[in-house]
Amino acid sequence: MKIHLLVVGKTTAAYISDAIDEYCRRLKHYITFDIEVIPELKNAKNLSFDQQKEKEADMILKCLSPGDYIVLLDERGKEYSSLKFSEYIEHKMHTVPKRLVFIIGGPYGFSQRIYSTAQEKISLSKMTFSHQMIRMIFIEQLYRAMTILNNEPYHHE
Ligand SMILES: C[S@@+](CC[C@H](N)C(=O)[O-])C[C@H]1O[C@@H](n2cnc3c(N)ncnc32)[C@H](O)[C@@H]1O
């Protein structure tokens, strides 16, 4: 199984992209993981939030392949502890044959078409993070999960 993270808009702040690079470098030791960036809309100022979500949905759908198992990151999704999330990833390693695709929405979230396409929704907190911050937080949790599965002393509880 490969893990693919689809994000809307490139990471703009160096302090976020530096952290992402660091955790991606660490993750590669455990699993095939990559990030795909959907470019920002060029004329976003002239579009309503719903129009932006629909255009982003068109681009998200083009990035998906048959057989992908699709999980949205969404504050209204199911919550896990880090330990339970590691068990979740382990289960997916045994059951997802191709790509496990996590998707982070744009500044206004997802269109209904994307909610209908996904198999699951996961929340990292009931609080809302920016579409930029959440990618870094998620990748650190993925790394944490891999260290838990490998009995490494990164997570303590
Ligand atoms: C600024 S939020 C969008 C908020 C938007 N009002 C909504 O209702 O979805 C941008 C994206 O970050 C992700 N996100 C933000 N907070 C999250 C959380 N607590 N758990 C999981 N994903 C989150 C989601 O993918 C969301 O689409």
Whole-model pTM: value is: 0.97
Structure confidence at residue 57 (pLDDT): 98
pLDDT, tens digit, for every residue of 40-94? 898 898 999 999 999 999 999 999 999 999 999 999 999 999 999 999 999 999 9
Structure confidence at residue 128 (pLDDT): 98
Q: Collect all residues with Cβ–Cβ distance below 8 Å to 135 and sequence separation of at least 6.
A: 5, 7, 11, 16, 20, 35, 104
Q: Which residues pair with 133 in a beta bridge?
A: none
What distance in angstroms lies between residue 62's CA and the mean position of ligand 1's atoms?
21
Mean pLDDT of 90-100: 97
Six-digit token string for 90:
């382990």
Which numbered atom of ligand 1 lies nearest the CA of 125? 19
Say whether 128 counts as a known binding-site residue.
yes
pLDDT, tens digit, for every residue of 1-54? 999 999 999 999 999 999 999 999 999 999 999 999 999 898 898 999 999 999
What distance in angstroms lies between residue 151's CA and the mean position of ligand 1's atoms?
31
Other CB atoms closer than 10 Å to residue 151's CB: what's the count? 6
Structure confidence at residue 42 (pLDDT): 87
Residues within 6 Å of ligand 1 by CB: 73-75, 104-105, 107-110, 123-125, 127-131, 134
Say whether 73 counts as a known binding-site residue.
yes
Q: What is the ipTM of this complex?
A: 0.98
Question: What domains appear along the chain, each with residue ranges and CATH number?
Answer: 2-149 (3.40.1280.10)
